[in-house]
């Protein structure tokens, strides 16, 4: 784990130790407006000379997986006959814009891409 701490320090990362083999890390924030994504690093010993470092992305709750739109079309059902005859319905198809709002100028990469870049940087530093 010493090598992992040394690599994180060289990459200007900060971390919180949960136990001797598990830390939560992130890149030091460049400004106070944008929080960099966090990742969990857990070290496992596979055998006498082999270790496995598990990388896990820790995504904020604001972008929960269920919040994404699964379709760009929605259907609205409306009764086409008086209240006594509700068996047949008419469907109207509408376009619904589920795309995220445009990024402000100078916006950072998505949290997923930042996570992958942190992983790649850490792996590259550990491999040297």
| Distance in angstroms (rounded) separating the CA atoms of residues 4 and 41 | 9
pTM of the model: 0.61
The answer to whether the beta carbons of residues 69 and 96 sit under 8 Å apart is: yes
Whole-number pLDDT of residue 100: 62
Tokens linked to 16: 């919180």
Residue 85 is predicted with a pLDDT of: 52
Task: Give the H or E element holding residue 51.
Answer: strand 50-58
Question: Are the C-beta atoms of residues 108 and 34 closer than 8 Å to each other?
Answer: yes
pLDDT given for residue 19 in this prediction: 96
pLDDT in tens, 55-95: 999 976 554 444 444 444 444 444 445 555 555 555 555 56
pLDDT in tens, 10-50: 999 999 999 999 999 999 888 776 788 999 999 999 999 99
Strand pairing partners for 16?
24
Q: Going from the N-terminus, what domains does the chain have, and what CATH number goes with each?
A: 1-60+110-128 (3.30.310.80)
Task: Note the pLDDT of residue 26.
Answer: 93
């Amino acid at each position: 784990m010493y090598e992992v701490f040394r690599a994180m320090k060289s990459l200007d990362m900060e971390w919180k130790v949960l136990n001797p083999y598990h830390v939560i890390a992130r890149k030091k924030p460049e400004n106070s407006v944008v929080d960099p994504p966090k990742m969990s690093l857990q070290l496992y010993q596979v055998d006498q000379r082999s270790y496995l470092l598990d990388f896990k992305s820790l995504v904020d709750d604001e972008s929960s997986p269920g919040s994404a739109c699964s379709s760009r079309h929605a259907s609205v059902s409306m009764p086409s006959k008086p209240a006594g005859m509700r068996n047949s319905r008419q469907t109207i198809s509408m376009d619904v814009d589920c795309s995220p709002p445009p990024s402000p100028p100078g916006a950072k990469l998505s949290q997923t891409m930042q996570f992958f870049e942190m992983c790649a940087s850490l792996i590259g530093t550990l491999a040297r």
